[in-house]
Amino acid sequence: MKISSWHSLLILTCFVTSSVAFLRCVKEADLPTVVTDDIINIKTTSVTLSGNVTNDGGAKVELRGFCLGTANNPTITNSIRYYCKGGLRGFTTNVPFLEPDTYYHVRAFALNSAGTAYGNEVHFKTKQLVEPKVLTIVAKPLGFTVAQVQGNIISDDETPIFERGFCWATTENPTTMNKMIKCGTGTGYLERNITDLLPGTLHHVRTYAISIGGITYSADKNFTTQHLPIVTTDSVIVFTQTTSKIGGNVIIDYSSEQVWNCAIGICYGTEATPTVNKSSVSSDSLSNDGVFTCTLENLTSGTRYYARAYGLVSEWLWWIDYDCSRTFIIYGNEVTFTTSQ
């Protein structure tokens, strides 16, 4: 059947009309509506931000977040951005690593197919930096080369402590450029045993804390490590061609639990400065005041001998290993004698 031209025109007109009507029914998306809520939990270097998407604009909100900067009307192109997942309703994020005592501007934003919408601008100022309070509570010797130190770090404004510990030296006010030991991060109590100190020496120690404001030290605290025993060699009594008797004296402080197992005696030989590694004999007896005597036997007649009293004392390093210790050998003055022919 042949379709007339007026009939074709009628069909075309109906198609166009219905298409226009359909397109008018499909409404284009609008920008979402987003609100920047009041700032809460303002600290020295951090803050909590919150916002709310009250209307999605007729399209899915793909992304939400905050724009933050030191200039007015921050946007996603000229500020620091903090992103949150898309969707409606409220959203919150914690912002770290801000500058102390600084004025900031912030706006919440939301993004859908129509573009990016911004909320109202709000302002806040971070708190001024307050140095943490750093204390050295205890600094006491545990032996010849070991001391116990205790400290405390207090930060009222919750300024983050990136590192903390102890530093020490034989001069006043040591710093982290001297010997030091790290004790983690954060505020609160800290305790360590410091080692490799010098026996019988005055040492200085300070607790330190590193925050965004730099290094803060406690006041200087000092202590003196325990002295090594004092050993002297007494006079020599020659009995026979092959024996002699030598006395000595050792003064040692046993007040520390770290000091134990002290051995004393006389080392001797035909060469000067004899040591316990060559020829030695332990003491026959020891009095309460540290006086002892040793009998040397199997000597060679008509021979010149050198002798020194010694004290061998151990320091117990129980925190390293229950059986671990460090040993010191202390020698007294040297005396000489010659056996008879």
Does 120 share its domain with 145?
Answer: no
Indicate if the pLDDT at residue 151 is higher than 80.
Answer: yes
Q: pLDDT digit string (tens) for 30-82? A: 999 999 999 989 988 889 999 999 999 999 999 999 999 999 999 998 888 88
CATH number at residue 245: 2.60.40.2060
Better pLDDT: 312 or 261? 312
Does 243 share its domain with 170?
Answer: no
Query: Is 250 a domain residue?
Result: yes
Choosing from 224, 256, 283, the residue where a domain stops is: 224
Does 234 share its domain with 334?
Answer: yes
The boundaries of the domain holding residue 284 are: 230-338
Which of 201-210, 238-247, 311-320 has the highest mean predicted lDDT (pLDDT)? 201-210
pLDDT at 285: 54
Does 83 share its domain with 158?
Answer: no
Backbone angles phi, psi at 22, to 5 degrees: -70, -45
pLDDT at 227: 86
pLDDT at 8: 53
Question: What's the pTM?
Answer: 0.68
Does 220 share its domain with 277?
Answer: no
Please give the Cα distance from 200 to 167 (Å, whole number): 19
Indicate if the pLDDT at residue 11 is higher than 60.
Answer: no
Q: pLDDT digit string (tens) for 228-267? A: 888 999 888 877 888 888 888 888 765 555 555 567 888 9
Indicate if the pLDDT at residue 327 is higher than 90.
Answer: no
Does 139 share its domain with 219?
Answer: yes
Residue with tokens 């545990």: 142
Q: Could you tell me which of 160, 134, 153, 110 has the C-alpha nearest to residue 220?
A: 134
How deeply is 143 buried, as exposed, middle or buried, from its count of CB atoms within 10 A (0-12, 13-18, 19+)? Answer: buried
Query: Is 11 a domain residue?
Result: no
pLDDT at 22: 44
Q: Could you tell me which of 226, 221, 217, 215 has the C-alpha nearest to residue 169?
A: 221
Does 176 share its domain with 115?
Answer: no
Cα-to-chain-centroid distance, residue 333:
45
CATH number at residue 84: 2.60.40.10
Query: What number is the average pLDDT over the span 167-196?
Result: 94
Which of 88-92, 202-206, 210-214, 322-326 has the highest mean predicted lDDT (pLDDT)? 202-206
Query: Is 286 a domain residue?
Result: yes
Indicate if the pLDDT at residue 282 is higher than 80.
Answer: no
Please give the Cα distance from 48 to 39 (Å, whole number): 6
Query: Is 21 a domain residue?
Result: no
Query: What number is the average pLDDT over the span 193-217?
Result: 93
Q: If DSSP states are collapsed to H, E and C, what string results for the chain?
A: CCCCHHHHHHHHHHHHHHHHHHHHHCCCCCCCEEEECCCECCCCCCEEEEEEEEECCCCCCCEEEEEEECCCCCCCCCCEEEEEECCCEEEEEEECCCCCCCEEEEEEEEEECCEEEEEEEEEEECCCCCCCEEEEEEEEECCCCCEEEEEEEECCCCCCCCEEEEEEECCCCCCCCCEEEECCCCCEEEEEEECCCCCCCEEEEEEEEEECCEEEECCCEEEECCCCCEEEEEEEEECCCCCEEEEEEEECCCCCCCEEEEEEEEEEECCCCCCCCCCEEECCEECCCCEEEEEECCCCCCCEEEEEEEEEEEEECCCCCCCCEEEEEEEEEEEEEECCC
Query: Is 304 a domain residue?
Result: yes
Strands 47-55 and 33-36: antiparallel
Q: How many Cα atoms within 13 Å fall on the side-chain side of residue 340?
A: 7
Does 211 share its domain with 155?
Answer: yes
Query: Is 143 a domain residue?
Result: yes
Query: Is 87 a domain residue?
Result: yes
Query: Is 293 a domain residue?
Result: yes
Does 145 share its domain with 88?
Answer: no
Average pLDDT, the chain: 84
Does 120 share its domain with 157?
Answer: no
Choosing from 224, 243, 264, the residue where a domain stops is: 224
| Overall number of domains in the chain | 3
Does 167 share its domain with 244?
Answer: no
Choosing from 179, 198, 224, the residue where a domain stops is: 224
Does 47 share its domain with 144?
Answer: no
